[in-house]
Structure 1
């Protein structure tokens, strides 16, 4: 697991990610659950064993050094699509209407805003 944390922002809520040796993203479960309005204690019942694990990283240790739960990209999609809570609806829409279509069209996701110039967007892409 790469110990470098990449932070995303969804409407002011942090979403921390790590990358495994194969280059696949893993998401800090607490961040995902906070966005979706769910609790991490139910994750083992919802996700398959290959979609959830603990990471031992001093950079993101929580609760007095306890290794946090992380979930895989498929695990993230499963949680997003499964949740029926009102808090999750906007996150679902963001993932399905903005993030996934942009990845399919361009091979990646670069968050932009109306005020970003073409040069700003290209600088982030590089």
Structure 2
């Protein structure tokens, strides 16, 4: 189904299409929603242009460049959101995850309520039932196989970029795991991925985590008014770690 659908909530406007089982998003509108734009002055008029060079840097493509008219996959949208890392991007991804994607997937045929009603009231009811039946069979097959899926497996498997623990919590939530940043920190400490003992290394990646290549850290030096210097360590999740933890949580959920 390649029919273009438009979603808006008064703040964001987004065109979406579905090809096979993949949901694709207008790259231009995603960029605007995430604030990946810049102001340009042309002949005394201010224009807002998309930072295509930055977007292509964040999302290196095997062939061709992302440009006006391009559509990008769901993992790419979230990767751009993490890179944007601003208050607007968080609101956008929340709207996407809580409203847009559930609406698309609600009927199993990737239809909005209005579109589904049109089909039911017309001559396409048999096709809709057949499509729904195929969806049920697919869900039953996936359940029997219990194969975990990683939302960002394609986009981060070869990435050298790292993310914060709070961003990992968002990825897990988008994969159906009910967990937030604080609970994830607790889980990581209790399961030996972060240092649990109170002290200078508290919440730092354990040696095990670093040996696995799933966590690393950055050091930040703070100079207090008293002249005292403290060093804090911020844990970061590697591309390999993002896939590792999504798979682990999904496996635990399935067991």
In the superposition, the TM-score normalised over structure 2's length comes to: 0.31
> Match of 1:49, SS?
coil
Aligned mates of 1:38, 1:68 — CA distance in 2:
16
Partner of 1:38: 36
Alpha carbons 2:27, 2:68 under 8 Å: kept: no
Provide the C-alpha distance between the structure 2 equivalents of 1:14 and 1:73, rounded to a whole number of angstroms. Answer: 16
CA shift for structure 1 position 36: 0.9
Other-structure match for 1:108: 105
- Greater relative contact order structure (CA < 8 Å, 6+ sep): 1
State the match for 1:85 in structure 2: 86
CA–CA distance in 1 between the matches of 2:26 and 2:82? 17
TM-score (norm 1): 0.56
Aligned to 1:27: 25
Partner of 1:13: 12
1:99–1:109 contact (8 Å) kept in structure 2: no
Specify the SS of the correspondent of 1:88.
helix
Whole-Å separation in 2 of the counterparts to 1:77 and 1:46: 11
Structure 2: state its 5+ residue gaps.
Answer: 38-50, 108-112, 117-255
RMSD over aligned CA atoms reads 3.5
Check the 8 A contact 2:7/2:13 in 1, yes or no.
Answer: yes
Equivalenced residue count is: 97
8 Å contact from structure 2 (residues 24, 74) kept in 1: yes
Deviation string, structure 1 residues 19-45 (Cα, Å, up to 9, x no partner): 22x231111111111111113412111
**Which secondary structure does the structure 1 equivalent of 2:105 belong to?**
coil
Structure 1 runs of 4+ off > 2 angstroms?
Answer: 10-13, 92-96, 106-110, 123-126
Q: Summarize the Cα distance change of 1:67–1:94 in structure 2 as closer, same or farther, 3 Å threshold.
A: closer
Larger radius of gyration: 2
Structure 1: gaps of 5 or more residues: 55-65, 111-122
Which residue is 1:63 aligned to? none
Q: Secondary structure at the match of 1:68?
A: coil
Task: Measure the CA separation in 1 of the matches of 2:22 and 2:81.
Answer: 18
